[in-house]
């Protein structure tokens, strides 16, 4: 029989597995909303991963690690923004290159640091690992079922949900956010309505990169228990790109979506061994492909994809 | 914005097309700058950049074996770049080279594993065709969906990459698992009959690569179909008015594009890996996109860029053994070089005009617009 405790354990594990996806997805939504398909999520997450890990290693402070991961992610997004917004280079090519560059950079620094520690092991200090443990709030976490369901995750999860809610509020409830969305739909019209196209593109892309960076820090710091491992992002950035479609370009939906995809990621450990593991690994991509297809078959009405996604804007060619 | 109170501080305007020599010079400058930045990074972590660069280059040419290894890296990169070239010429953003390469390898491997009773050359020919068809079909799916329902091809081809990858792991763990493999799952090594022969010490894939370079060049430049690709890429409406069946061109080109990547997969599996592994593509499909774009979709330049990239890949493995630095520096350098060249492309086509700077406005010439439209994404919907 499947017990309540088992279901609870599964949900808690799914949320944890979905947390890095949440950051990547929300970050990518920010960028895609202004019409810039950034395929560099995996790379930005990798850069954030190594920066966050290094900052945590040096300071032993979780907040400091997150801030540095955010800044590093932003910095890598800046490369993308300069080249695609200002220099109007092909977004797909730059994004892919950013991914290759970012992963290479992170692994390179990681190998270099492992060589320098002298222990063949680049490891976070114990007091930092303590900070990353699942929270345990007195009374609240002790409530049966609900306490476990709501108050038993690590700090990253709560930061991620807060960021997702904030981005949702920004994009759909503030004037600046609606303007940003207008840019993704029709930059020429937005420009004519005196929206500062370039400025808001930069702001959104950089914020998106920063958010991805924190997701990367989760991958490097939490997933492997505080030990640096090469390729620690391991494709989660690509799943995030897929998840944007599943979440219909809505940050609030991304919360739900990332936990669903998190559940898909861990499902293989809970299922009988008859079903091949490849099937579970493939599932997020198959589901995304189906969602993408279904949205396009339904036509413009059902599709939330920004109209000018992937197209650069050159003012003199309106 | 004619109503703006203030002129913007910086404006971007096109300038007249530079001569070939000037634009090549600027691109070389971009590479030099990129190497300088990479060198700065190397110096920052306490190594001599000149030594490292010298090791990269000399490491590739120090022995016939090293040269052979370099060429071996070049083959799949170049072939997948050629596949991408066809699609990108049509402004079809095929990010799925990786998946198409894998599916080509899967189709070809089927015959290598289960039909190895055939004579050697016949088997290779069958595998070659299978690889082409496998990759082609994997390219045809997103093209068909895009033509039928307008499905975003960038995102769809991206998903298909991973689906293809996990098809391989599925085959590896289940139906095609080598029963004699102890410990971990793998697919059996191909029979010697299914192996690509070696010519001058490197598997014959390099001959396939060279032939494909010439064929793709001739196809794009000299045939009606190749011309149609260019027209559809410039403007689908123009193509339609000119009586071109756009849907047919897109489907045909994507089949070819995927098919070429599939050939790359077949060559890699039978020539280099001698088995089907999950790492058969190993990111080459993505690198191919970068190469094709750096080469400005010119097959011959793609060959040169691929070779330069394979020098970086092979050379960095030499650097690893000599200095203990990770091979990832190849990826970093590739990235920096592309970033610089893409930035330079901008200055080749446009110039910045500061506020208050008055001069006669540049006249848009036909050649000018041509050059610029290469930069601008086509309107696809």
- Residue window 6-65, chain B: list those with CB within 8 Å of chain A: 12-14, 45
Mean pLDDT of all residues in B373-380: 43
- Is A197 buried (19+), middle (13-18) or exposed (0-12) by CB count in 10 A? buried
Which tops the pLDDT comparison, B213 or B155?
Answer: B213
Question: Which of B149, B289, B345 is closest, CB to CB, to A96?
Answer: B289
3-state helix, strand, coil in chain A (%, to 5): 75, 0, 25
Could you tell me if residue B63 is inside a domain? no
**At A251, which helix (H) or strand (E)?**
helix A251-270
Mean pLDDT of A230-237: 88
Largest CA distance in chain B: 79
Flag whether residue A117 sits within 8 Å of chain B, measured between CB atoms: no
ipTM surpasses cut 0.95:
no
What is d(CA B87, CA B191) in angstroms, rounded to the nearest whole number?
35
Structure confidence at residue B7 (pLDDT): 64
Q: Is A266 helix (H, G, I), strand (E, B) or coil?
A: helix
pLDDT of residue B342: 87
Q: What average pLDDT does range B72-99 have in this prediction?
A: 93
Mean pLDDT, rounded, for B117-134: 90
Query: What confidence category does residue A107 fall into, taking pLDDT thresholds of 50, 70 and 90?
Result: very high
Please tell me the predicted confidence (pLDDT) of residue B114: 87
pLDDT at A31 over 90: yes
Contacts with B328 from chain A: Cβ below 8 Å: 103-105, 107-108, 111
From A133-137, A304-308, A309-313, B172-176, the region with the lowest mean pLDDT: A133-137
CB contact under 8 A, A101 and B339: yes
What residues in B contact A101, CB-CB < 8 Å? Answer: 331-332, 334-336, 339
Q: Is the residue at B347 inside a domain?
A: no
Q: How far is CA B214 from each of CA A242, B71, B79, B208, B324, rounded to the nearest angstrom?
A: 37, 18, 12, 10, 40
Contacts 24+ apart (CB under 8 A), B318-321: B318/B55, B318/B56, B318/B59, B318/B60, B318/B66, B319/B52, B319/B55, B319/B56, B319/B59
For residue B65, tell me if it sits in a domain: no
pLDDT given at position B113: 87
Does some domain include residue B317? no
Q: Which two tokens stand for residue A50?
A: 């190594």
* pLDDT over 90, % of chain B: 37
Structure tokens, B365: 């010439």
| Residue pLDDT, tens place only, B230-242 | 888 888 888 888 8
Pairwise pLDDT comparison (B209 vs A312), residue with the higher score: B209
- Between residues A141 and B168, which one has the greater pLDDT? B168
Spatial neighbors of B217 by CB under 8 A, at least 6 apart, are B298, B299, B300
Chain A hits for B160, CB-CB cut-off 8 Å, are: 289
CA distance A115 to A117: 6
In angstroms, the CA A146 to CA A141 distance is: 8
Does residue A182 have a pLDDT over 50? Answer: yes
B170–A83 CB contact, under 8 Å: no
Q: Is residue B211 part of a domain?
A: yes
Give the gyration radius of chain A's Cα atoms.
Answer: 20
- Written in H, E and C, the secondary structure of B165-231 is HHHHHHHHHCCCECCCCCCCCCECCCCHHHCCCEECCEECHHHHHHHHHHHHHHHHHHCHHHHHHHH
- CA–CA–CA angle A269, A272, A275 (5° rounding): 95
pLDDT at B375 over 50: no
Chain A interface, best mutation among B279, B287, B320, B339, by max A CB count within 10 A: B339
Q: Give the pLDDT band of residue B370 (cuts 50, 70, 90).
A: very low
The arithmetic mean of pLDDT across residues B307-311, rounded, is 91
Q: With bands split at pLDDT 50, 70 and 90, how would you rate the model's confidence at A296?
A: confident
| Residue-range definition of the domain harbouring residue B258 | 74-309
Dihedral angle at the C-alpha atoms of B196, B202, B208, B211, nearest 10 degrees? -150
Q: What pTM, to 2 d.p., does this model score?
A: 0.88
Q: What pLDDT does B8 receive? A: 67
b or e along A49-70 (b: 16 or more beta carbons within 10 Å of the residue's beta carbon)? bbbbbbbbbeebbbeebbbbbb
Q: Does residue B334 sit at the A interface (CB-CB below 8 Å)?
A: yes
The 10s digit of each residue's pLDDT in A257-290 is: 999 999 988 888 887 777 788 888 888 889 888 9
User: DSSP characters for B253-293?
Assistant: HHHHHHHHHHHHHHHIIIIIISS--TTSSTTHHHHHHHHHH
User: Strand pairing partners for B13?
Assistant: B351
Q: Mean pLDDT over residues B361-375, rounded?
A: 47
Residue B138 CB contacts under 8 Å (≥ 6 apart), including other chains: B96, B99, B100, B103, B104, B160, B164, B258, B262
Cβ <8 Å between A276 and B328: no
Which residues are CB-neighbours of A130 under 8 A, at least 6 positions away? none
Per-residue pLDDT tens digits for A45-98? 999 999 999 999 999 889 999 999 999 999 999 999 999 998 888 898 999 999
Percent of chain A beyond pLDDT 90?
50
Cβ contact B286–A99 (<8 Å): yes
Cβ contact (<8 Å) for A111 and B325? yes
Instruction: Quote the radius of gyration of chain B (alpha carbons, Å).
Output: 23
B223 belongs to a structural domain: yes
Instruction: Summarize the confidence of residues B193-203 as an average pLDDT.
Output: 80
Q: Are A255 and A22 in contact (CB under 8 A)?
A: yes
pLDDT one-digit tens code per residue, B321-357: 888 777 888 888 888 988 998 888 888 888 777 776 6
Better-scored residue on pLDDT, A143 or B378: A143
DSSP secondary structure of A82-139: IIIIIS---HHHHHHHHHHHHHHHHHHHHHHHHHHHSSS--B--HHHHHHTSPP--TT
pLDDT over 90 at B255, yes or no: yes
Q: How many CB atoms lie within 10 A of CB A139?
A: 8
Average pLDDT of the segment spanning A216-222: 92
| Residue B367, pLDDT above cutoff 50 | no
Query: What pLDDT sits at residue B177?
Result: 83
Using the predicted structure, report yes or no on whether residue B373 has a pLDDT greater than 70: no
**What would you measure as the largest C-alpha separation in chain A, in angstroms?**
67
| Mean local confidence (pLDDT), B18-38 | 86
Mean pLDDT on B256-276: 91
pLDDT at A310: 80
Read off the pLDDT band of B1 (50, 70, 90): very low
pLDDT of residue B107: 94
The total of structural domains in chain B comes to: 1
Give the nearest chain B residue to A190 (CA atoms): B1
Does residue A140 carry a pLDDT above 80? no
* Class of residue B63 by CB neighbours under 10 A (exposed 0-12, middle 13-18, buried 19+): exposed
Closest CA to B38 of B261, B274, B312, B235: B312
pLDDT at B359: 54
Domains in chain A: ranges and CATH = 4-317 (1.10.3470)
In a domain, B27, yes or no: no
Per-residue model confidence (pLDDT) at position B369: 46
Q: What is the pLDDT of residue B3?
A: 46
Q: What is the mean pLDDT of residues A158-167?
A: 95
Summary mean pLDDT of chain A: 88
pLDDT value, residue A1: 53
DSSP line for B40-96: HHHHHTT--HHHHHHHHHHHHHSSHHHHHHHHHHHHHHHHHHHHHHHHHHTT----T
């Amino acid at each position: 029989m499947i017990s309540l405790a088992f279901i609870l354990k599964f949900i808690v594990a799914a949320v944890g597995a979905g947390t890095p996806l949440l950051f990547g997805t929300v970050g990518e939504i920010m960028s895609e909303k202004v019409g810039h398909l950034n395929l560099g999520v995996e790379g930005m997450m990798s850069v954030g991963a190594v920066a966050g890990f290094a900052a945590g290693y040096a300071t032993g402070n979780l907040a400091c690690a997150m801030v540095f991961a955010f800044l590093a992610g932003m910095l890598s997004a800046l490369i993308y923004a300069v080249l695609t917004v200002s220099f109007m280079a092909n977004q797909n090519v730059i994004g892919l290159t950013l991914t290759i560059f970012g992963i290479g950079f992170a692994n390179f620094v990681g190998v270099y640091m492992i060589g320098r520690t002298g222990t063949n092991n680049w490891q976070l200090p114990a007091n930092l690992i303590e900070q990353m443990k699942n929270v345990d709030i007195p009374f609240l976490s002790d409530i049966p079922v609900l306490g476990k369901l709501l108050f038993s995750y690590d700090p990253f999860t709560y930061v991620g949900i807060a960021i997702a809610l904030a981005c949702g509020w920004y994009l759909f409830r503030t004037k600046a956010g609606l303007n940003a969305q207008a840019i993704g739909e029709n930059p020429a019209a937005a420009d004519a309505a005196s929206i500062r196209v370039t400025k808001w593109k930069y702001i959104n892309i950089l914020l998106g990169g920063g958010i991805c960076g924190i997701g990367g820090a989760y991958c490097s710091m939490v997933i492997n228990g505080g030990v640096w491992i090469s390729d620690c992002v391991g494709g989660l950035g690509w799943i995030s790109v897929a998840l944007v479609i599943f979440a219909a370009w809505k940050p609030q939906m991304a919360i739900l979506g990332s936990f669903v995809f998190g559940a898909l990621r861990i499902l293989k450990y809970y299922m009988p061994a008859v079903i091949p593991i490849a099937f579970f690994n493939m599932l997020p991509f198959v589901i995304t492909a189906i969602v993408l297809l279904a949205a396009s078959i339904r036509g413009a009405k059902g599709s939330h994809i920004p109209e000018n996604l992937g197209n650069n804007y050159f003012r003199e060619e309106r | 914005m004619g109503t703006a109170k203030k002129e913007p501080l910086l404006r971007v305007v096109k300038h007249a097309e530079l001569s070939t020599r000037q634009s090549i010079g600027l691109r070389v400058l971009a590479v030099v700058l990129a190497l300088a930045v990479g060198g700065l990074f190397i110096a920052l972590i306490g190594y001599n950049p000149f030594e490292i660069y010298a090791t990269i280059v000399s490491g590739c040419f120090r022995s016939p074996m090293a040269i052979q290894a370099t060429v071996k890296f070049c083959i799949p990169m170049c072939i997948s770049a050629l596949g991408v070239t066809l699609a990108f010429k049509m402004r079809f953003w095929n990010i799925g080279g990786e998946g198409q390469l894998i599916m080509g390898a899967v189709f070809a491997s089927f015959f290598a594993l289960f039909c190895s009773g055939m004579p050697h050359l016949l088997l290779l020919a069958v595998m070659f065709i299978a690889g082409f068809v496998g990759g082609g079909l994997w390219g045809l799916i997103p093209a068909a969906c895009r033509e039928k329902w307008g499905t975003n091809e960038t995102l769809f081809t991206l998903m298909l990459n991973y689906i293809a990858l996990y098809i391989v792991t599925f085959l590896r763990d289940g139906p095609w698992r080598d029963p004699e493999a102890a410990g971990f799952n793998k697919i059996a090594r191909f029979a010697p009959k299914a192996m690509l022969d070696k010519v001058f010490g490197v598997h014959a894939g390099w001959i396939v690569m060279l032939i494909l370079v010439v064929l793709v060049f001739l196809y794009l430049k000299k045939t009606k179909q190749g011309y149609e690709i260019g027209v559809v890429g410039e403007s689908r409406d123009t193509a339609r008015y000119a009586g071109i069946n756009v849907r047919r061109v897109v489907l045909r080109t994507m089949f070819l594009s995927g098919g070429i990547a599939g050939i790359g997969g077949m060559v890699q599996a039978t020539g280099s890996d001698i088995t089907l592994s999950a790492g058969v593509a190993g990111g080459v499909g993505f690198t191919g996109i970068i190469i094709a774009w750096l080469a400005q979709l010119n097959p011959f330049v793609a060959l040169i860029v691929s070779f330069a990239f394979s020098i970086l890949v092979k050379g960095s493995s030499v650097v690893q053994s000599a200095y203990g630095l990770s091979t990832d520096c190849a990826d970093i350098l590739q990235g920096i070089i592309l970033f610089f060249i893409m930035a330079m492309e901008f200055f080749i086509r446009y110039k910045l005009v500061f506020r208050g700077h008055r001069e006669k406005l540049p006249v848009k010439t036909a050649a000018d617009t041509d050059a610029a439209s290469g930069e601008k994404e086509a309107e696809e919907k």
